[in-house]
Amino acid sequence: MFPRRFLIAPFMRFSIRQTLMLRASGLAVLLGFVGSTVSAVAQENLTLIPKWSRFQGELVSLKPYDNPVQDVQLKAEFTPPVGEPVTVDGFWDGGDDWKIRFMPDMVGKWTFKITCSDEENRGLHNLEGAFLCTAPTGDSRLTRNGPIRVARSRTHFMHDNETPFFWMADTAWNGPLKSSELDWKDYLEVRRSQGFTAVQWVATPWRGAPDGDANGEEPFSGTEKISI
């Protein structure tokens, strides 16, 4: 069995961390699930994931790769209680660690299957599991109402549950690149108090930060094939 750790970003507010053991070809792989506290008893002892929250699976590759980003493709197919399956890409998270993230949008039992382009890598290929999606919880508009999309009338934005959303955005351009964590936190608190509902920025240095971020680091350089 491979020991797995839960990596929870500082901005995420989750009060429980649950695990599910998957078995494939006689090999045990532990996936981590991150979800908010719920009081319902899971059917079939399934892990509980609130609607519109984050499912996170953490896997360990049994093989090293010179360039994991381009040498291997990791995918997961999630099948909802009703409707067509949804396929998402997994990603390399450094070392031998890989992750799968997914947001369930329907209450009920979901099943999933994880596959890898390297079918001989039993740590990443041919893994199956299930979880129970429960009613939404959380203290933000997104976790209570779901992601934002264009309304059927094409005249305004709304959440997945059809709650209207007014796009009142400030443009911070290179704010995330040039600010400290404390600066960014203060900025968001001020804009929120002023009634803003969104912030727009660029994720590359562009004109405002030609020398990189506050630490002088750049997201990429050169013109050759990307390699990490």
Q: Indicate whether 53 pLDDT > 50.
A: yes
**Alpha carbon 14 to its chain's center:** 14
**In this structure, are residues 131 and 46 in contact, taking their beta carbons and an 8 Å threshold?**
yes
Residue type present at position 104: P
Q: Indicate whether 204 pLDDT > 80.
A: no
Average pLDDT score over residue span 31-52: 60
- The confidence score (pLDDT) of residue 44 equals 66
- Using one digit for the tens of pLDDT, what is the confidence trace for 133-183? 999 998 889 999 999 999 999 999 999 999 999 999 999 988 888 888 999
- Average confidence score pLDDT of the chain: 80
Residue burial 191-211, b: 16+ Cβ < 10 Å; e: rest: beeeeeeebeebeebeeebee
Q: Supply the pTM of this predicted model.
A: 0.72
- Using one digit for the tens of pLDDT, what is the confidence trace for 120-143? 999 999 999 999 999 999 888 999
Q: Indicate whether 22 pLDDT > 50.
A: no
Q: Indicate whether 5 pLDDT > 50.
A: no
- The confidence score (pLDDT) of residue 84 equals 97
Quote the CA–CA distance of 160 and 146 in Å, as a whole number.
Answer: 5
Residue 181: strand pairing partners: none
**Given 3.40.50.800, 2.60.40.10, 3.40.50.300, 3.30.2000.20, which CATH number is that of 16-134?**
2.60.40.10
- The confidence score (pLDDT) of residue 123 equals 95
Beta strand extents in the chain (DSSP E only): 16-24, 27-35, 47-50, 55-60, 74-79, 86-89, 91-92, 97-102, 108-116, 127-134, 148-150, 157-159, 164-165, 169-173, 198-201
Q: Indicate whether 27 pLDDT > 50.
A: no
Q: For residue 77, what is the DSSP state?
A: E
- Would you place residue 33 in the very low, low, confident or very high pLDDT band (cuts 50, 70, 90)? very low
Q: Indicate whether 34 pLDDT > 50.
A: no
- Using one digit for the tens of pLDDT, what is the confidence trace for 93-126? 999 999 999 999 999 999 999 999 999 999 999 9
